[in-house]
């Protein structure tokens, strides 16, 4: 008897419809128990299809899916399972039973069965029973004997560190240690200590040390202890903080954790002596994307507190130094570009005069008013005096600068336009020095017109220079995304790194703007995954203070989440080996795509090879896909790409992962259509043409809304795949690539 029985009536209806069971012999639908536990028929349907495809569905197959009530009928309790847990059971005289507390658990159960269980013989699989970690012992004492001592409860990141430690220990093993401010009696403790003046641990460094009465984590003045806690949880408890891809989740749901299972974790009194220090001094890889991990909550501009709307650098809600700037001169202080009132030479579309005294005085007045305003706004908050860490007086988004006699004289003396900008920033530091805001840093750009450093004037210690790895001063060359920064093969990037290194010689405070996830042609979204390793190593070796990474969250493949995660891994530890780096990639892929992560990794590597072409330079942001991808090579890999996709989706642990795999691979069908258009559609056999059409139709059908490119025409516009189209036109033309960049439009790959 073929039986896949779901436990609810609507399930029965749908199942019947899909399998045509009114005539199919042996399919029996159980309508005896109607519960409100959700629609399980989709999982029954999935399993039916999968077993049929694999030739495993026989007359004898009898599988029963269900939630709690159904399980109870068979004397099985799912009450103690986690939401992801499931039970698979089969004895000599029973059907195969797959039960779980949640629908997701059933989903995981059927997929586990399909991938790992035999069709015959006894089965007893239990997943998700009890906490992920059975027992944690530190210095000979069970975690239940421990308290968490927060020795500086007035410091918000310390409070956060203690709460996070308690929360994640609890999630891992079920024991939530009490948080206290003083150790009492002989209690064992994990003690959090803050180096308040940063004399030993700077802003963010930390030490984790185990001893006879527990563990002490000592951290630098701003976020050191918090990082120490996260590192302790990662290194010694097996917790991972990562991002979950997701098409529809609200902000915040993206950051999540994974806990490796362990029977017990034993930490001896002398086992841990771990000193942590970031490779990039400020470890918050600040991003223009609003998504952030728990490890970033108190880390930089995303620092979430009342009065801070959390976005962008015009909000000075930063706890500690974060010096990224974004054209603040006009976005913050002169939003109407009303420079002309003070600067008679000003005309729209260029930068105002950086040597004009009246304009400087007005800017200073507005800066002070703004700092006063923000101080007052922050009201009751403790540590408010630290919240104004960096002001943004950075230039406008143009390479056109003032040509007045005074400015020209400075440019000549300094051998660079940046001379006027740096003198201007230094002057602001000087002006603030006898105000309550003398600790405030002053941020400016080295960008588009000012990338060459001045010959004479050095930036003040309180000036943060934001160097943009983006475009040359003459506007002719974009940063290359096919080579890492510092790659000797790359003449393009050398133009940028030569100048950046000169900045690093005269300033300890260099931030950079970095564009690893921005592309106007989203169809190639895997770029940068591997080359980021070399980029961050280079930047760390230069002594880079901080990184502002620009991200585009319109990429429907969602792979930018991983780039963002990897960026932070590297900022933390740029010295890791390449094997460690690819290990981080694989781990992240495992969390998001399931057991087929190696296949996904192979796809990313394959795309990297296909992207490399002949080692030409191309711009990650603007270059059309014909520069970024070698479609001839891609054509040769067509079957491999499709096989990797199919293989990975078979091993997805639940529907969500399967959808994310489809999202990642979605553009591959588009790429294949571009690569095979001439061979298979224009010149192909009937069979080829049918294959071509089905492949392209699948892409269009399954990727409604997938963004292909950012339109150039006038206003910026994100454009998806077309609803209808002419099959005789190579679909690469859907992207309307910028005709200013010439290419071979034969498209015969």
Question: Of the two residues 355 and 730, which places its CB atom closer to Zn ion in the complex?
Answer: 355
Q: Give the whole-angstrom CA distance, residue 659 versus residue 122.
A: 32
Residue 116: which residues within 8 A CB-CB, separation 6 or more? Answer: none
* CB-CB neighbours of 244 under 10 Å: 17
CA 512-517-523 angle, to 5 degrees, is 155
**Closest CB 352 distance from Zn ion, rounded Å:** 8
* 3-state SS track over 288-356: CCCCCCHHHCCCCCCCCCCCCCCCCCCCCCCCCCCCCCCCHHHHHHCCCCHHHHCCCCCCCCCCCCCCC
User: In residues, how long is the chain?
Assistant: 749
Provide, rounded to whole angstroms, the least separation between the CB of residue 441 and Zn ion. Answer: 25
Decide whether 14 or 480 has the Cβ nearer to Zn ion.
480
Q: How far is Cα 704 from Cα 736, in angstroms, rounded to an integer?
A: 18
Say how far apart CA 200 and CA 682 lie, in whole Å. Answer: 69
Q: Which is nearer to Zn ion, 444 or 490 (CB)?
A: 490
In terms of CB distance, is 65 or 353 closer to Zn ion? 353
| d(C-alpha 332, C-alpha 369), whole Å | 12
- Residues 662 and 703: their CA atoms lie apart, in Å, by 9
Min CB(533)–Zn ion separation in Å: 16
Q: Name the residue nearer to Zn ion (CB basis): 34 or 409.
A: 409
Which CB atom, from 440 or from 485, has the smaller least distance to Zn ion? 485
CB of 526 to Zn ion, least distance (A): 17
Q: Shortest Cβ distance from residue 329 to Zn ion (Å)?
A: 14
Least distance to Zn ion from the beta carbon of 397, Å?
19
Q: Which is nearer to Zn ion, 533 or 590 (CB)?
A: 533
Q: At what angle do helices 224-232 and 156-173 cross, to 10 degrees?
A: 10
What distance in Å separates the CA atoms of residue 366 and residue 300, rounded to the nearest whole number? 24
| Least distance CB 539 / Zn ion (angstroms) | 16
Say how far apart CA 587 and CA 569 lie, in whole Å. 12
Q: Minimum distance from CB of 591 to Zn ion (Å)?
A: 32
Nearest to 386 by CA among 631, 538, 198: 198
Q: Which is nearer to Zn ion, 628 or 653 (CB)?
A: 628
- Tell me whether strands 3-5 and 62-66 are parallel, antiparallel or unpaired: parallel
Judged on CB neighbours under 10 Å (0-12, 13-18, 19+), 287 is: buried
We find the least distance from the C-beta atom of residue 388 to Zn ion, in angstroms, to be: 28
Residue 444: CB minimum distance to Zn ion, A = 16
CB contact burial 251-280 (16+ within 10 A = b; e otherwise)? eeebbbbbbeebeebebeeeebebebbbbb
Strand partners, 208: 217, 274
Residue 360: CA count within 13 A, CB half-sphere: 17
The minimum distance between CB 351 and Zn ion, in angstroms, equals 9
What is the Cα Rg of the chain in Å? 29
Distance in Å, CB of 314 to Zn ion, minimum: 25
Find the shortest distance in angstroms from Cβ 611 to Zn ion: 12
Hunting for tokens 């603030």 — which residue is that?
432
* Residue 703, helix vs strand vs coil: coil
Minimum distance, C-beta of residue 469 to Zn ion, in the bound complex (Å):
12
Rounded distance between C-alpha atoms, residue 349 and residue 731, angstroms: 38
Question: Which residues lie near Zn ion (CB under 5 A)?
Answer: 353, 355, 402, 404, 407, 480, 482-483, 490, 492, 617
Query: Which residue, 59, 57, 70, 67, is CA-closest to 30?
Result: 70
Pairwise CA distance, residues 349 & 745, whole Å: 36
Specify the residue, 344 or 436, whose C-beta has the smaller distance to Zn ion.
Answer: 344
Nearer to Zn ion, 246 or 620 (CB): 620
Query: Given the complex with Zn ion, which of 354 and 665 has the nearer CB atom?
Result: 354
CB closer to Zn ion out of 7 and 355: 355
Tell me the pairing of strands 214-219 and 146-150: unpaired
Tokens of 394: 């950075």
In the complex with Zn ion, the residue whose CB is nearer, 587 or 612, is: 612
Query: In this complex, which beta carbon is closest to Zn ion, that of residue 371 or of residue 490?
Result: 490
CB 546 within 8 A of CB 568: no
| Ramachandran sector of residue 736 (left: φ over 0; alpha: ψ -120 to 50; beta: rest) | left
Q: How far is the CB of 597 from Zn ion (least distance, A)?
A: 30
* Nearest CB to Zn ion, comparing residues 313 and 482: 482
């Amino acid at each position: 008897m073929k039986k896949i029985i779901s436990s609810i009536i609507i399930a029965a209806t749908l199942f019947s419809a899909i399998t045509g069971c009114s005539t199919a012999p042996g399919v029996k639908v159980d309508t005896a128990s109607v519960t409100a536990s959700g629609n399980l028929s989709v999982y029954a349907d999935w399993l039916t299809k999968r077993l049929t495809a694999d030739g495993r569905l026989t007359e004898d197959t009898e599988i029963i899916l269900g939630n709690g009530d159904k399980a109870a009928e068979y004397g099985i309790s799912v009450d103690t399972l986690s939401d992801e847990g499931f039970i698979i059971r089969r004895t000599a005289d029973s059907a195969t039973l797959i039960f779980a507390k949640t629908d997701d658990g059933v989903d995981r159960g059927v997929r586990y069965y399909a991938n790992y269980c035999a069709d015959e013989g006894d089965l007893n699989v239990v997943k998700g029973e009890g906490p992920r970690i059975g027992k944690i012992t530190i210095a000979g004492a069970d975690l239940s004997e421990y308290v968490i001592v927060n020795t500086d409860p007035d410091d918000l990141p310390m409070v956060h560190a203690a709460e996070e430690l308690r929360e994640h220990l609890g999630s891992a093993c079920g024991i939530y240690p009490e948080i206290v401010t003083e150790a009492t009696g002989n209690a064992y403790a994990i003690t959090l200590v803050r180096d308040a003046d940063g004399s030993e641990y700077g802003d963010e460094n930390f030490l984790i040390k185990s001893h006879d009465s527990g563990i002490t984590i000592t951290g630098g003045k701003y976020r050191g202890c918090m990082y120490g806690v996260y590192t302790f949880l990662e290194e010694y408890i097996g917790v991972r903080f990562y991002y979950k891809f997701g098409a529809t989740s609200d902000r915040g749901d993206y950051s999540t954790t994974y806990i490796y299972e362990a029977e017990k974790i034993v930490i001896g009194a002398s086992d841990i002596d771990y000193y942590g220090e970031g490779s990039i001094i400020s470890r918050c890889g600040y991003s223009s994307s609003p998504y952030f991990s728990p490890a970033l909550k108190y880390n930089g501009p995303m620092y979430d507190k009342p009065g801070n709307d959390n976005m962008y650098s015009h909000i000075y809600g930063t706890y500690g130094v974060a010096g990224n700037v974004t054209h603040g001169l006009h976005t913050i202080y002169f939003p109407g570009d009303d420079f002309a009132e003070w600067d008679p030479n000003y005309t729209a579309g260029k930068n105002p005069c950086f040597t004009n005294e009246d304009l400087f005085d007005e800017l200073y007045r507005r800066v002070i008013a703004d700092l006063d305003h923000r101080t007052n706004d922050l009201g009751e908050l403790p540590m408010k005096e630290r919240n104004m860490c960096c002001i943004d007086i950075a230039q406008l988004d143009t390479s056109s600068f003032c040509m007045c006699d005074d400015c020209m004289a400075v440019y000549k003396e300094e051998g660079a336009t940046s001379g006027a900008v740096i003198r201007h920033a230094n002057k602001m530091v000087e002006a603030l020095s006898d105000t309550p805001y003398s600790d405030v840093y002053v941020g400016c750009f080295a960008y588009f017109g000012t990338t060459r450093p001045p010959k004479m004037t050095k930036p003040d210690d309180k000036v943060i220079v934001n160097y943009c790895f983006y475009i040359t001063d003459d506007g002719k060359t974009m940063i290359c995304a096919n080579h890492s920064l510092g790659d000797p093969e790359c003449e393009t990037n050398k133009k940028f790194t030569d100048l950046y290194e000169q900045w690093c010689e005269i300033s300890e405070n260099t931030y950079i703007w970095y564009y690893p996830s921005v592309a106007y042609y989203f169809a190639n979204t895997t770029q940068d995954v591997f080359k980021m390793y070399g980029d961050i190593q280079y930047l760390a070796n230069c002594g880079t203070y901080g990184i502002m990474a620009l991200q585009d969250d319109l990429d429907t493949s969602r792979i930018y989440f991983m780039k963002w995660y990897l960026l932070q891994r590297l900022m933390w530890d740029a010295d890791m080996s390449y094997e460690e780096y690819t290990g981080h990639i694989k781990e992240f892929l495992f969390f998001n795509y399931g057991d087929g992560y190696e296949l996904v990794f192979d796809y990313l590597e394959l795309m990297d090879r296909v992207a490399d072409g002949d080692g030409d330079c191309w711009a990650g942001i603007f270059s059309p896909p014909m520069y970024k991808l070698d479609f001839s090579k891609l054509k040769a890999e067509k079957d491999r790409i499709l096989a990797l996709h199919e293989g990975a989706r078979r091993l997805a642990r639940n529907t969500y992962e399967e959808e994310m795999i489809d999202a990642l691979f979605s553009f591959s069908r588009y790429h294949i259509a571009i690569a095979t258009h001439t061979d298979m559609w224009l010149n192909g056999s009937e069979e080829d043409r049918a294959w071509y059409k089905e492949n392209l139709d699948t892409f269009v059908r399954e990727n409604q809304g997938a963004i292909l490119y950012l339109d150039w025409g006038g206003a910026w516009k994100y454009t998806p795949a077309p609803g209808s189209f002419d099959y005789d036109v190579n679909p690469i033309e859907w992207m309307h690539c910028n005709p200013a960049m010439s290419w071979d439009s034969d498209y015969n790959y």
